[in-house]
């Protein structure tokens, strides 16, 4: 196979500096802070969890929803997908076999 001008030459990396260091994104900063201990000696992670549970027990619906979403997963929402202005969705770039399987799937979903 001929190599195009955009492929990497053998022995060269597409990312010569390597993976960027961890610790600068929001998730890493939050993990670091939640792993530390607060002024009362409790882990911040524990304090946040206890505050969330307490808020839920006091009737805070957002806290209750967050707890249930984390424990049970978010509820599945069924969505209908159509083309422009409700027209049928056009299926292109599929083999005949893929198109047949897709149409069988759609027909099965409509019968439910």
C-alpha torsion angle, residues 9, 15, 17, 21 (rounded to 10): -160
Euclidean distance between CA atoms 17 and 107, whole angstroms: 51
pLDDT in tens, the chain (112 residues): 556 666 777 777 777 777 777 667 888 889 999 999 999 999 999 999 999 999 999 999 999 999 999 998 888 888 888 876 777 776 667 788 888 888 888 888 888 7
> Which of 57, 62, 60, 31 lies closest to 44 in space, CA to CA?
31
């Amino acid at each position: 196979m001929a190599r195009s001008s955009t492929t990497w030459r053998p022995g060269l990396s597409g990312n010569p500096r390597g993976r960027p260091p961890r610790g600068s994104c929001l998730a890493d900063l939050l993990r670091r802070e939640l792993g530390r201990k607060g002024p009362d000696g409790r882990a911040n992670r524990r304090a946040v969890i206890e505050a969330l549970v307490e808020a839920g027990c006091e009737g805070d619906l957002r806290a209750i929803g967050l707890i249930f979403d984390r424990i049970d997963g978010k509820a599945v929402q069924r969505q209908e997908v159509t083309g422009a202005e409700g027209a049928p969705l056009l299926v292109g770039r599929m083999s005949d076999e893929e198109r047949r399987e897709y149409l069988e799937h759609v027909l099965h979903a409509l019968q439910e």
